[in-house]
Chains A and B, each alone.
Chain A
Amino acid sequence: AQSVTQPDIHITVSEGASLELRCNYSYGATPYLFWYVQSPGQGLQLLLKYFSGDTLVQGIKGFEAEFKRSQSSFNLRKPSVHWSDAAEYFCAVGAAGNKLTFGGGTRVLVKP
């Protein structure tokens, strides 16, 4: 069975500093990997996804993620955080047939 672990429940970062959110997955074959962001009281918005090809994926809002097969990881990064990036971030793994398994989420707080 597939699973996703986001080791950090909360992260606090200063505005303008860099951000990295960790995601580790367990899946038997080549996975489809996703990062979603959820602002308070809102639904989930897709930030980026990896299906195949280049292991460094660019997304919206200046985010990127790197797929590392050897480490079963898909970490999300942003070089300079804005106050509007305060939200909860979810990593998810999927397969053909579209069933997704989500991690528990990482809540990001941004200090002025």
Chain B
Amino acid sequence: NAGVTQTPKFRVLKTGQSMTLLCAQDMNHEYMYWYRQDPGMGLRLIHYSVGEGTTAKGEVPDGYNVSRLKKQNFLLGLESAAPSQTSVYFCASSATSGPTQETQYFGPGTRLLVL
């Protein structure tokens, strides 16, 4: 039981390049989230998904796209990376029922540097 895993752990991009961050969870959670973490600002929600095939915008969605084709995976895409997207990205998932509902479980993070 790996919980929430993220790929890659670290990436350097040049401005304008694209990339996809992969999040996988093996807890059969319905809900999945992507956050970015910047110094002094806590975590801010980028996009989230309440189930396979659904996505919704969070607090800071501009410049990002997401897809949830399979229940266990949630992909975050950057079509044209900008230096302002340099950050640490965290994926999380949560259940909708049972003793752990409403509790988000986080992956280890992906550090992205955009030059």
Contact = CB atoms under 8 A, between A and B. Distances in A.
Interface of A: 4, 6, 9, 32, 34, 36, 42-46, 49, 51, 90, 94, 96-105
Interface of B: 4, 31, 33, 35, 40-45, 48, 50, 58, 90, 92, 94, 96, 102-109
Contacts of A49: 102-103
B102 A51 contact: yes
A8 to B, nearest CB: 12
Given A51-B102, A100-B104, 5 more contacts: A34-B103, A46-B104, A98-B48, A98-B94, A99-B48
A110 to B, nearest CB: 20
Nearest to B43: A102
A15 to B, nearest CB: 26
A43 B90 contact: yes
A9 B40 contact: yes
B40 A98 contact: no
Contacts of B45: 99-101
A43 B110 CA distance: 10
A96 B102 contact: yes
Contacts of B33: 98, 100
A94 B102 contact: yes
A103 B42 contact: yes
Nearest to B29: A98
6 contacts: A43-B90, A46-B104, A51-B102, A98-B94, A98-B102, A98-B104
B40 A44 contact: no
B48 A42 contact: no
A43 B106 contact: yes
A104 B103 contact: no
Contacts of A42: 108-109
Contacts of A36: 106
A32 B102 contact: yes
Given A49-B103, A98-B31, A98-B104, A43 B109 contact: yes
A102 B42 contact: yes
